Amino acid sequence: MCGIVGIINSENPSDSRSIIKQMVATLNHRGPDEFGIYFSVRACLGHTRLSIIDLSTGSQPIHNEDKTMWIIYNGEVFNYPELRKLLESKGHRFYTTSDTEVILHGYEEFGEQVLSHLNGQFAFAIWHKPSNELFLARDRLGIRPVFYALHKNELIFASEIKAILAHPNMSAEIDPFALSQIFTFWTTLYPRTAFKNIRELPPGHFLRFKNNNLKIQRYWQLSFPDIGDYDDQPLSFWSEQLRELLIDAAIIRLRADVPVGAYLSGGLDSSVITAIIHNYTQNRMNTFSISFAEKAFDESSYQHVMSKHLGTEHNDQPIANQTIADNFPRTIWHTEKPVLRTSPVPMMQLSELVRKHHFKVVLTGEGSDEILGGYNIFKETMVRRFWAKSPSSTARPMLLQKLYPYLAVSSKQVQLFTQRFFSHRLLETDHPTYSHFIRWRNYEKIIQFLSPEMKAMVENYDPVAEYVDTLPANFHAWHPFCKAQYIEIDLFMAGYLLSSQGDRMGMANSVEGRFPFLDHRLVEFCSRIPVKYKLRGLNEKFILKHTFNDLLPALIVRRSKQPYRAPISQCFYSENNNSYLNNLFVDDKNTWSLFSRHAVKHLLNKWKSTNGRLSSETDNMAFIAILSTALLQDIFVGKNMITSRNSVSAPYNIVIEDD
């Protein structure tokens, strides 16, 4: 994977040459192998390379035959050999063997329609010199990021916000509406970011910038059949196609000129991917996982079962609570937005383990829970809808014990409290976001910690209402299960899972993740699978278990779903506390411009009185939300910048073209 930056229509072209170098330098963690820069009067493009395909001739920026087009690119197009043959048959001539050049010639041939030909994960920019036009595009599901800002008539873009902030005309200021969205959805709504005046290109969109005019257009959107329009084929029909598509998606994601490893969590999804590689290729897999000192979060026993079953070369990264605390500030430097969980930190440590073993690429199981319905939130919405049909029933809410077994052994008081909790807006089944009412309710608690000034700015703002306005026109006609899937894919997966836990934590150590379950062919196919094959009773991902049962140990197939989580507030508690906590919550005036000193102090006292183990889910989320936001403010607004672990030592491939 790589990093891209650009400045279009610079006010001072001569200054842009030094500025673009500064921007590139901030992204050296994304690609420490080589830097490339293209200069012209109207456009400056920069690239930092993690060399994976075409190690010898794939240096960027790359040009077409007559040098009228230049491309910088972050990502992988996995069907590039097939596309290259097609383009060569149409007369295109190549000077590299990279997938980057395939995209460029594809754009020459097909224009924006090239995006429909690409199977991959990408963000790329193409500069067309004769027309002075920039074309900037992002993959369908948002696996790879790209951000932009407008300053007067100048467009500034980059793979990460920190590179945009390296431009002297840009500065960081926390957006209160962004905080409102993050505290609700765990992410912002496109195109908003955590910072004012900096925008994110949404997944499945492209941007054109010409003559100071910026135009953004969608080219792909996930959809589901109307509730009565499913193809009523037997399970065997869907299972055979799922197997064929997923095997192909995994195999083409092994295309690389460097070794490819795999994450192995011990869950169903990563186990399926690793088993496919073991059974359908000649690759001997190196697998990587994390284990936790706190047993409630640890899945290492299942990882060892699967590794032994497949005979992989397995590597484990133990995670102690103190490790999470020590690495949390650096994590926020990479996420560039607040988080409500500590879960990204172990993922950053895992990618460091991968890099230490000299791997640049790993396959993972991300996306399966979203496209095949593996999360409790999907089952929960179906239970609540069933309960809503007979709201006075005492038996129907007992189904929640199937999702949360600890309830069955809890006290009567806890059971009654939980029942009241899950009955929140129970009868509003016609609301488009019914499935997420419970999760998004956390916002009501976290927002109370904002300072009076910040709270006043957002008190009349409803982020859910804004999100509802973005839903597809035919959303109302979908099955309730699919509505929940869409929201989870559109918000949580794209904005948090693939970003804060995915791209950013891998790129922190120059490691590229590849996601077979997010092959767009598979995503589109799974959207058409009848709900009854995704959720059989309360058995999640039924069709995946049925399809790959023959490749996995029974223990892996039958084990209860355990969502990936990490210890939270207890990580930051010690006798001396962590110095940065003291700095942020005692000495830092910037923190109190965002949050109420009184409210935060009350939460900290509760945290200290429990030896750092806040029992309430909302208290834990609030603790991390406040801490990560304060760190974001300190790092980017206060300019107490953290630098990348990777030194800037790669050679420059500089192209200067005078207009």
- Catalytic residue positions? 2
Peptide bond connecting 61 to the previous residue in cis, omega within 30 degrees of 0:
yes
* Strand, coil or helix: 501: helix
- 3-state class of 303 per DSSP? helix
Beta carbons of 149 and 199 less than 8 angstroms apart = yes
Query: Helix and strand tally (H, E) in the chain?
Result: 28, 18
Cα angle value 499/511/624 (rounded, 5°): 40
Radius of gyration of the chain (CA): 24
Q: How far apart are CA 330 and CA 33, in angstroms?
A: 22
The secondary structure element, H or E, covering residue 263 is strand 260-263
**DSSP state for residue 26 in the 8-state scheme:** T
How many other C-beta atoms lie within 10 A of the C-beta of residue 330?
A: 18
- Integer CA distances (angstroms), 214 to 40, 169, 390, 425, in order: 20, 19, 52, 41
Please answer whether residues 502 and 513 qualify as being in contact, where contact means their C-beta atoms are separated by less than 8 angstroms.
Answer: yes
Burial 499-530 (b: 16+ CB within 10 A, else e): bbbbbbbbbbbbbbbbbbbbbbebbebbbebb
CA–CA separation, 608 vs 612, rounded Å?
Answer: 5
Q: Is 566 within 8 Å of 324 (Cβ atoms)?
A: yes
User: What separation in angstroms does the CA of 61 have from each of 39, 127, 523?
Assistant: 10, 10, 31
For residue 101 the two structure tokens come to 């050049």
Please give the angle made by the CA atoms of 196, 338 and 378, to the nearest 5 degrees: 115
User: How many whole angstroms separate alpha carbon 17 and alpha carbon 10?
Assistant: 10
How is the chain split among helix, strand and coil, in percent rounded to 5? 50, 15, 35
Cβ neighbour number for residue 30 with a 10 Å cutoff: 28
Residue 138 — φ and ψ, nearest 5°?
A: -130, 150
Q: H-helix or E-strand containing 385?
A: helix 376-388
